Structure formats: C-alpha cells, structure tokens
Chains A and B, each alone.
Chain A
Amino acid sequence: MVSGKKGSWTLILAIDTTSGSSAAVVNLGEVLGFSVFDDPFGHAENIGQAIESAMSEAKVTGSEIEAVAISRGPASYTGLRVGMAAGLAFATAREIPLLGVVSLDAVASVHGAGFTEENWLVTSDAKRGEQFVGIYSGLNDVGLAIREEQLQVMKPEDLENAFGSLPRISEPCDARAVGVYAEKAAAAGIKLDDLSALYLRSPDVTPSSKKRVSG
C-alpha cells in the first residue's frame, strides 16, 4: 500500500544540488514532500537528509519510489555531482528509471507562463564572473519551456550586448521544479535519457611543461 501516492502513475523522487541541496517526491503534478538545505557548500553533508526528509514528509519509503529525476545542471561542478551521484545510486539500487533534467529548463517551465514576449532567458551563476544562459520561447502543450539554442556560458557584458532587452529569470532551481518537469516530460513521451553532467567547460588544466631547477 503506497500511502502518499495518488492514482496509478509514477512516484518520482527528484534531486537537485544546483544551488542548495533539495529533494522532492512528486506525483501527478503535486509535491508530496520537499526538503531543502540552502547551504551552497554543504551538498555532501545534506543530500542524504534532504532525500530522507522529502520521502518522510511524503510518507513513502525508498522501496515505493518508481523513478528518480536528477538535475544535470549547468551549475557549480562539485555540488552538482553530489546530487547526481545520489540520484544515480538510488535508481541503480532500486533498478528504476533515472531521468535527467536540465536545471535551466526546469526553472523556465515553472516561470515561463508569465511571459508574453517571444523569447526570454534563464540564467544562473557559472562562477568566474560568468553566467549559464538558456534562451526560451514559450511553453509546449504539456507546459514545458521550449529552449531555442544550446546552453551557453557568457560574460555579463556579452550577455547584456546579445540579450539585454529580453526578460530574464535568475531564480535558482530546486527539486520540485525538477520533479514536476520530469513527470510532465515522461507523460508526454519526451525522453530524458541524457544523464551526463552539464559542465559547459573543459576542466581548467593545461599539460604541464618541464621547468629547470638549477640556475
């Protein structure tokens, strides 16, 4: 007996560590349980408790979860990986589907209905003085934001020059948005099978060269 679940559709556990650490249990568009830790550096410490609190609030156990949705970023790399690793391991343990959600797409879908303009932006902090940027153009018929181009990393002045006139959302993502997005996408038959982390940059390293030690 699944206590918190309504109807016959999938009970989704969503995990997001793109800003704080959050987890949500989502079913039929409703958030049955949600837990968030705002600490932007405490992902490893908090992710387990976030998952357990969300499940406990939803009155479900790990064995009742039927799919896991993870936030793929783009976001700060170290934190992002903690949530992705947790979701991936959870789904592996339970042998249930794992759904990858682009965090900017999830944010765009939550806030996009408020815009009448043809295009709008979703941005998030990419560190090093840059922004992650997604450009969207309305919602599709299941309420998912339609992304126009590849995600980008932009300097503030370039962002201003290129898209300064467009409305912009810079709300952080959380697991509720990820879970609701994944559920809508799955219902509409949209595949979320890309599970790679969105770094949008290569590791910051160059092959080293030999240095003399003697003068």
Chain B
Amino acid sequence: MIDIRFAIPADYDALVKLEKEIFEDQAWSASTMVADLEALHTDYLVAFNGSELVGYAGLASPAGSFQADINTIAVSKPQRKSGLGSELMQRLIELATRGGAEEMFLDVRADNLGAIELYKKFGFEQIDTRKAYYQPERVDALVMRKAIDQPLVLGIETSCDETGVGIVKGNRLLSNALNSSMEIHARYGGVVPEVAARAHLEALQPTIDTALSEAGIKLEDIDAIAVTNGPGLAGALMVGIGAAKGLAAAIEKPLYAVNHLVGHVGADILERGSLQTPSIALLVSGGHTSLLLVNDLLDNVELLGETIDDAAGEAFDKVARILGLPYPGGPEIDKAALGGNPDAIRFPRGLSLPKDMAEHKYDFSFSGLKTAVARYVEKAEDNGEEINVSDVAASFREAVVDVLVTKALKACEEYGVPRLILGGGVTANARLRELATQKCSQAGIELRIPRFSLCTDNGAMIASLGAQLVMAGREPSGNRFGAESTMEVSKVQSL
C-alpha cells in the first residue's frame, strides 16, 4: 500500500538519498534539493511504501502566474511500472488545477519515450525543444505543455444592500457588476431590510446582464453558479437564492451555496491569483467586524473574535449622525477628520482593558464608544459650547482604527502568522489603511488589501469561492438549501 502526502522536513534526508539513487551523477545536490523543497512557490509530494520512500514529485507554481511547472517526478527502481509515476502525475495535475494554474509545463529527455507517452496520455503536448539540454550526452529536452480548463463560475451576492454578480474563470476575475441601494437607505440612516430586498429584485436582471457583457460570455457557457446564503439579511439573501436556483434550473448546472464572510477572505485570490495561508483576516463593514484565522480557505477558517454589539461601519454611521453628517458615515467622518487632532479627545477603546483579555481578547465593541461621543457632544451643547467637529471625528476614528489594528496584529503575533488580509467596506477608510500599513510594516507582517471593488460586498468574491470549491472537487450544494442569516464562519458551504 503506497501512501502519498506532502513532504515534511523529516523526509529531506530520504529525498536526497533517493534522488542520488535514481539520477546518479545527474542528481541534484543536497543543498539544491532542500532549497527547492523549502521554496515558497513549490509543493513536493512524497510516496511511501511503509517506511520506505519510493517516489516523489515537485511542482512549482508562483502566486499569480497562472502557470505550474513540474520540477521532477521520480520513482525508485523497484517501483517502476507499478503505476506510481502516473499516480504522482495525477496528483500534481490536481494540485496545479486547485492552485489556479491555467497551464502546466515540463521538460523531458527526448530519448525517454516511455515518459513522453505517459505525459501525452495526461494531455501534455510538445511545444518546444531545448537542443542538447542534457549534458554530457547532449540529449535534447522536449518542453511539453498541458492546458487546464478552469471552471467558469457566476456568483450572486445579495446579503445586504449591494446586488453583486461576478464571473471568474478559476482564479481569474472576468467581471464584477454591482448595483447598490445605499442611496435609498441614506434617508433612513441605515440599511432597511425590506428596502434592500425590494432593490435586489429590481437590480437582479441589469446586474446579471452587466456581468455577462463585461465578461463577454453567455450564461450557457457557465460551469457552475455560486450564491451567498448567509450570513446576512434573510429577505435579501432569499432574492439571490431564488435567482441562483432559477439560473441553475435553466442551464442545468451545479449550484454552490457559500458563506459571505469566507467569500470576503477569498477575494484576495482574484487580486494575486492565489491565497497565501495561514493568514489573519480582519473583515470590517457596516454589518460585520470579524477577526479570522484562515489556515485553509475551504477547510479551516476559525473565528477568533467579532463585535459583540455594533459593527465598525455601523459605528461610523451612527457617529456621523450625531455629528450631523450624512449617511454613509465612513467617508464623511474621513472628510471631517481631515486636519483634526486624533489625540484631542481620549475616547474609550472597547474591550481593550486587561480584564477584557480573558473572554474578549479578539472581540470588538463599538457601542460604548458611540455613546461616549454622543455624551461628549450633548455636554458641549448643554454648556452652549461649540464642538470642534474635526477633532471629534479624528478622535473617534482613531479609537475605532486603533482597536481594529491592535487586535489584528496581536492575533498575527500570537498565532505566528506573518500575513494580514483586510476586507469589507470599512477598508476604504483612509486612517485604517494608513495605520494598518504602518503597524504591519513595523512588525514585518505582509498586509493585503484587495482593490476596493473586491473589498466591499461583491459577486466576484462569491464566484471565486464557488470556483475554489469546484477546483477542489467538492460536491455541489443541491437545490434545497435556504438562507442562514446567522451562518457561522466555520461553515464554508451549505450542503
């Protein structure tokens, strides 16, 4: 029984030894071998027969290149003709496909006819010859290529006030159409669920049409449909679910019901062609404030903390109203804060005291902060004093952003994760971007902020998460799922 898994450092000695046995004087040196094993953009599989290493295979697929190179496939002499070479090749193709590669390449000795036949069976075609590549015999190398047809997925997002329809092909963004009902909500000072749901139904067809025409495809070309079924406003979610089920029935294609928050995390895939894990993700919007540990997008997303009352974006809206500024509050507070002193008023940092660390280390609270701003303004009004709106806005904003960034970085430190992804509409906030950039740079943490159209609620991130599920060979969701307005982040897909 052969067992195939990813290589770990404990395998390195055996790998170097088997490389020597198989390739003799052509073998890579131990240092070259280990360097390739440890490289950020390579994946090595090892095959064991009991405790004996009998084969290995290496794939190089740099993030965002949409290409994968087979660095090596090696099988010990006693295992040849056992099918292990084919098995390893199959695994590498799956790995490359799942990683978003649109084409795979390999080099092979022109005199290795058995291998060339095998590669052809797997869909590789010769595209070039490197003359006298293998020395000292001066044997040519054939360069072979296999095209990978990544799934074309349409995603529908209607969890709040944005009707989003996006189309992706594998890890590549093709279109991202959006219609927002934000302006209608403005007069109510916040999102009204019934108003949002009505707007979704009206926006559905134009948004689908825009997404299709921007991507230059027809609906019948789509391989799968993905839809947000939670968390979010139930009535709003149901418009998207109805539409997705109608589409799926019309074109007879599989349907994937996915988690909105995990969709936000996956948005970075469309930005750089892949998602680096592990990563800490901070999602901040009008509806959510969540801190996540993402070990694997599809299998291991852990909620570290979330707001216990208002979402950060909601706090911006409410404080804007207190200050007499229009909805949505985020950009207005940003404008008002220009020239203001962020240290003028020391507003409270929610759940940041030592006593909060036991139960709410990574949770957030903005309700007390909002009340503190209201009290400050009311006190000034009662005393007939003029408030400095710029100072209040800057100080309030600083209190929000300070807590968000501090807790996110603490999570990076505690979990030893050198990467932070921001998502959600509040990433538009100038001070959040500035402070996160500064603090991450000081701490040596890579900061990822996808472009704004991928940070706010959008259909492309839902399509992308659906594509990840398709590429990983996951089963579709069937057609009996409903809306789950309080869906937990650990549930990536509803079945």
A residues apposed to B, CB below 8 Å: 15, 17, 42-49, 51-52, 55, 61-63, 65, 77-78, 81-94, 196-197, 199, 203-208, 210, 212-214
Q: Is the CB of A88 within 8 A of B205?
A: yes
Query: 1/0 per position for B363-391, CB-CB distance to A under 8 A?
Result: 00000000100110011000000000000
Let me know if B189 is at the binding interface, CB within 8 A. yes
20 contacts between A and B (CB under 8 A): A47-B242, A48-B248, A78-B197, A78-B234, A81-B197, A85-B241, A88-B243, A89-B208, A89-B246, A89-B247, A92-B205, A92-B247, A93-B250, A93-B251, A205-B192, A207-B187, A208-B190, A213-B374, A214-B375, A214-B378
Q: Are B188 and A214 in contact (CB under 8 A)?
A: no
Q: Is B81 an interface residue (CB 8 A)?
A: no
Residues of B within 8 A of A61 (CB): 252
Scoring B188, B194, B240 by chain A CB atoms within 10 A of each residue's CB, the highest score goes to B194
Question: Chain A's nearest CB lies how many Å from the CB of B382?
Answer: 8
Contacts of B202 in A (CB 8 A): 196
A192 to B449, CA, bound (A): 47
Residues of chain A with a CB closer than 8 A to B247's CB: 89-90, 92-93
- Nearest opposing residue in chain B for A46, CB measure: B480
User: Taking CB as reference atom, which chain A residue is nearest B220?
Assistant: A93
Residues of B within 8 A of A (CB): 187-190, 192, 194-195, 197-198, 200-202, 204-205, 208-209, 219-220, 234-235, 237-252, 255, 321-322, 371, 374-375, 378-379, 479-483
CA distance A62 to B251 in the complex (A): 6
Contact B209 A92 (CB under 8 A): yes
A83 and B242 contact, Cβ closer than 8 Å, known pairs A205-B188, A207-B188: yes
Given A78-B234, A86-B245, A89-B244; 7 other pairs, CB 8 A cutoff:
A48-B255, A81-B242, A88-B205, A89-B204, A92-B208, A94-B250, A207-B188
Interface of B is mostly: helix
Which of A52, A92, A214 is the one whose CB lies under 8 Å from B249?
Answer: A52
CA gap between A197 and B204 in the complex, in Å? 13
Q: Knowing A62-B250, A203-B192, A207-B188, say if A93 contacts B219 (CB, 8 Å).
A: yes
CA distance A17 to B202 in the complex (A): 17
Chain A residues lying within 8 Å of B192, measured Cβ to Cβ, are: 203, 205
- Choice from A93, A210, A214 contacting B246 with Cβ under 8 Å: A93
CB-defined contacts of B374 to chain A, threshold 8 Å: 212-214
CA A65 – CA B198 in complex, angstroms?
27
A197-B241 contact in complex given A65-B250, A89-B208, A210-B321, C-beta closer than 8 Å: no
Set of chain B residues within 8 Å of A88, measured between Cβ atoms: 201, 204-205, 243, 246
Once bound together, how far apart are the Cα atoms of A86 and B204, in whole Å? 10
The CA of A199 and the CA of B202, in the complex, are separated in Å by 13
A-B contact count (CB 8 A): 145
User: What residues on A are CB-neighbors of B251 within 8 Å?
Assistant: 62, 93-94
Tell whether, in the assembled complex, residue A45 and residue B480 are in contact, meaning their CB atoms are under 8 Å apart: yes
Asked if B241 and A213 sit within 8 Å, CB to CB, the answer is no
* A78 to B, closest residue via Cβ: B235
A81 touches B239 (CB 8 A): yes
CB distance from A42 to the nearest CB of B (A): 7
Q: Which residue of B lies closest to A23 (CB)?
A: B249
A124 to B244, CA, bound (A): 28
Q: How far is the CA of A94 from the CA of B204 in the complex (A)?
A: 15
How far, in whole Å, are A152 and B306 apart by their CA atoms in the complex? Answer: 45
B250 near A89 (CB under 8 angstroms)? Answer: yes
Closest chain-B Cβ to A63's Cβ sits at a distance in Å of 8
For B189, the chain A residues whose CB sits under 8 A away are: 207-208
Chain B residues, Cβ within 8 Å of A196: 202
Cβ contact within 8 Å between B208 and A197 = no
Kindly state the separation between the CA atoms of A199 and B235 in the bound complex, as whole angstroms: 14
Q: Known contacts A49-B480, A83-B242, A85-B204; is A208 also within 8 Å of B188 by CB?
A: yes
For residue A84, which residue of chain B has the nearest CB? B201
Contact B242 A44 (CB under 8 A): yes
Residue of B nearest to A94 (CB): B250
For A78, A86, A88, A89, the residue with the greatest tally of chain B CB atoms inside 10 Å of its CB is A89
**Docked-complex contact B378 and A212, CB < 8 angstroms:** yes
Chain B nearest CB from A54 CB (Å) reads 10
Least CB distance, B202 to chain A, in whole angstroms = 8
Q: Nearest 9 CB-CB pairs, A to B? A: A48-B479, A86-B246, A48-B245, A85-B242, A89-B246, A82-B242, A93-B250, A89-B243, A90-B246
- Please give, as numbers and ranges, the residues of chain B lying within 8 Å of A210 by CB-CB distance: 321-322
| Contact A81 B250, beta carbon cutoff 8 Å | no
CA distance A47 to B227 in the complex (A): 15
**Does the CB pair A82–B239 fall under 8 Å?**
yes
Q: Given A89-B208, A92-B219, A93-B247, are A77 and B197 also a contact pair (CB < 8 Å)?
A: yes
Residues of chain B lying within 8 A (CB to CB) of residue A42:
482
Are B249's CB and A51's CB within 8 A?
yes
Q: Which residue of A lies closest to B192 (CB)?
A: A205
**Contact yes or no, A44 B246, CB < 8 A:** no
**Are B479's CB and A81's CB within 8 A?**
no
Does the CB pair B198–A44 fall under 8 Å?
no
Docked Cα-Cα span, A38 to B244, in Å, equals: 21
Chain A residues near B235 (CB-CB < 8 A): 77-78, 81
Q: How far is the CA of A46 from the CA of B379 in the complex (A)?
A: 55
A45 touches B481 (CB 8 A): yes
* Bound CA–CA A148/B202 (angstroms): 28
Contacting residues, chain B, for A205 (C-beta < 8 A): 188, 192, 194-195
A175 CA / B313 CA spacing, docked (Å): 42
Interface centre among A44, A46, A87, A88 (most CB of B within 10 A): A44
Which residues of A sit under 8 angstroms from B252, Cβ to Cβ?
A: 61-63
Residue of A nearest to B158 (CB): A85
CA distance A196 to B208 in the complex (A): 17
How distant is the Cα of A77 from the Cα of B192 in the complex, in angstroms? Answer: 14
Chain A residues, CB < 8 A from B201: 81, 84-85, 88, 197
Give the shortest distance, in Å, between B420 (CB) and chain A (any CB): 34
How far apart are the CA atoms of A94 and B205 in the complex, in Å?
13
